[in-house]
Amino acid sequence: MMNYTKAASSQAFKNKKLLFRQLFEKDSSTYTYLLADVAHPDKPALLIDPVDKTVDRDLSLVKELGLKLIYAINTHVHADHVTGTGLIKTKVPSVKSIISKASKSKADLLIEAGDKIHFGDLFLEVRATPGHTLGCVTYVTGDGSDQPQPRMAFTGDALLIRGCGRTDFQGGSAHQLYQSVHSQIFSLPKETLIYPAHDYRGFTVSTVGEETQYNPRLTKDEEMFKSIMENLNLPYPKMIDIAVPSNMVCGLQDLSVKPVDASSN
Amino acid sequence: MMNYTKAASSQAFKNKKLLFRQLFEKDSSTYTYLLADVAHPDKPALLIDPVDKTVDRDLSLVKELGLKLIYAINTHVHADHVTGTGLIKTKVPSVKSIISKASKSKADLLIEAGDKIHFGDLFLEVRATPGHTLGCVTYVTGDGSDQPQPRMAFTGDALLIRGCGRTDFQGGSAHQLYQSVHSQIFSLPKETLIYPAHDYRGFTVSTVGEETQYNPRLTKDEEMFKSIMENLNLPYPKMIDIAVPSNMVCGLQDLSVKPVDASSN
């Protein structure tokens, strides 16, 4: 039994500025997160990891809540679903898409470790957490008494609740993932809320305190972790050949460029 | 666009005592809620609407968080899944099951409108919200400055996010449901968080303010609402013949009582 009960009183945000919604896409078990500064006159908002098939749901909610969506952000190039960032831009052209420079993908803004993404008086801090893919980042809400407390970490597939993303595709590396999680996520305060890109068992949130004590993979030493990751025997990701090329360009292939094969037929 | 942005800064709980977790069961799209008073030395906890097949997950989490589960509670006799309350009692015999007296079901404690369910210094208040079934209740966190703010309403199937439960089985009544939601739920402060028993589109939470403005059924007048409910043309609930008899007895048929037919063979 853990002693992080104080840490575990999750979602006890002290910040009245933050509007926060967690949204779920069932086919890929993906979480999309909506954050907004509702104390700011513009009510600027951002979406983290939107999915193409739930874009209409997400934009309806943004409209109903009276928010102004300014950013559509990915934690990494997903292999299991097509991102909604490109589709969002076709529907709300003022939105800027964001992904890491290390992902080698196209987006309006390419971010790196240490960058800050401001929305109103709130911001997300970028931490590089490669290992599931080369370009994975974790977005952490701002540090400071005027920012939400406890902090919230949007970990993508780097750290899942009692799990982690696979490391056998897309430049994955068990060594790198282990170092990323320990140095960039487990180093956050124990009460920090963990919001992953997926959950397959119905959990919605965890904390750094919980994962440092109960994560069955990342509580092991690095050699044991590498051995676990090498022996997962997971099937080839069924969406990877469609999703990855598409997600390198915000989920929308550039339809104005005809494929060479098609023009030669 | 709504003006409830302050109301909508959801999950901005001011109460440091409350540990809160929302859990999802994918097959029936059911939400189970874990609440605990982590400021109390015993860390007393309760589960609202546990599902039989996720009992082990829920009890593991309770143990990891160092909580003492005291109540397993249902909002109503579910027709779409088997409740986990009986199974929980076999695994943690000190847990008391709770359901409404109006449900005509068996449980350790049968509650009525106005009753309070205490866990540590926190409590849930019972509101009768029949209409989906005869015995539906809504549990609302306590009123008072020492209780979580905004308040949280666990509405079962009475009020869903941008929807509501069907009214064509189990003593359902569109008239009664309309009156229940308007008098018992929409009368709560606009910032009250709505946590339903189900969501089929990936929403996790709403507010009274949002539902009074955007619920496509319950924002209509009662005649229109009744017409909508009469014309849903929903299929017969596939689990109802298994789930309802089972849920009348906390999800566990009493195996010690032999059926009459069996003894006469």
Query: What CATH number did the domain enclosing B222 receive?
Result: 3.60.15.10
Q: Strands of chain B (E only): list them.
A: 18-25, 30-37, 44-48, 68-73, 96-100, 109-111, 116-119, 122-128, 137-141, 152-156, 193-196, 206-207
- Chain A hits for B57, Cβ within 8 Å: 201-203
Predicted confidence at residue B257, as pLDDT, reads 44
Q: Is the pLDDT of residue B2 over 60?
A: no
CA A58, A60, A65, A68 dihedral sign is positive
What's CA B32's distance to the chain center, in Å?
A: 8
Predicted confidence at residue B145, as pLDDT, reads 87
In a domain, B243, yes or no: no
CB contact under 8 A, A57 and B201: yes
Count of domains forming chain B = 1
CB contact under 8 A, A54 and B15: no
**Mean pLDDT within B236-258:** 80
CA A213, A214, A218, A219 dihedral sign is positive
Is the minimum CB–CB distance between B219 and chain A shorter than 8 Å?
A: no
In a domain, B227, yes or no: yes
Residue A160 in tokens: 């899942």
- The SS3 call for residue A29 is coil
In a domain, B248, yes or no: no
CB contact under 8 A, B5 and A57: no
Name the residue type at position B167. Answer: T
Kindly give, in sequence order, each residue whose CB lies less than 8 Å from that of residue B221, ignoring residues fewer than 6 positions away: none
In a domain, A245, yes or no: no
pTM given for the model: 0.91
For B200, the domain range is: 2-236
| Bridge partners for B151 per DSSP | none
- CA A234 – CA B37 distance, rounded (Å): 40
Of B38, B204, B214, the CB nearest to A22: B204
- Chain A hits for B20, Cβ within 8 Å: 9-11
Name the residue type at position A156. Answer: G
Mutate which: A65, A208, A211, vs B, most B CBs within 10 A: A65
Count CB atoms within 10 A of the CB of residue B61.
Answer: 23
Beta pairing class for B44-48 and B30-37: antiparallel
Q: How close B29 comes to chain A (CA, Å)?
A: 9
What's CA A260's distance to the chain center, in Å?
A: 34
Q: For B46-87, how does the pLDDT look when each residue is reduced to its tens digit (9 = 90+)?
A: 999 999 999 999 999 999 999 999 999 999 999 999 999 999
| Bridge partners for B122 per DSSP | B119
- Chain A hits for B66, Cβ within 8 Å: 1-3, 5
Q: How close B102 comes to chain A (CA, Å)?
A: 30
In a domain, B189, yes or no: yes
Of B49, B43, B57, B39, nearest in space to B76 by CA = B49
Predicted confidence at residue A15, as pLDDT, reads 66
- Consecutive sets of 10 residues in chain A, 265 residues long: mean pLDDT of each? 40 72 97 98 98 98 98 96 96 98 97 98 98 98 94 98 96 97 98 98 98 98 98 92 93 55 36
In a domain, B260, yes or no: no
Q: Is the pLDDT of residue B265 over 80?
A: no
- CA B165 – CA A163 distance, rounded (Å): 35
Q: For B114-158, how does the pLDDT look when each residue is reduced to its tens digit (9 = 90+)?
A: 999 999 999 999 999 999 999 999 999 999 989 999 999 999 999
Is the minimum CB–CB distance between A213 and chain B shorter than 8 Å?
A: yes
- Chain A hits for B149, Cβ within 8 Å: none
Count CB atoms within 10 A of the CB of residue B257.
Answer: 7
Of A20, A57, A201, the CB nearest to B10: A20
Size of interface A-B (CB pairs under 8 A): 126
Is the minimum CB–CB distance between B205 and chain A shorter than 8 Å?
A: yes
In a domain, A255, yes or no: no
Q: How close B65 comes to chain A (CA, Å)?
A: 6
| Bridge partners for A132 per DSSP | none
In a domain, A264, yes or no: no
CB contact under 8 A, B65 and A13: no
- CA A216 – CA A219 distance, rounded (Å): 6
- CA B203 – CA B194 distance, rounded (Å): 11
Q: What is the DSSP string of A23-75?
A: EEETTTTEEEEEEEETTSTT-EEEEES-BGGGHHHHHHHHHHTT-EEEEEE-S
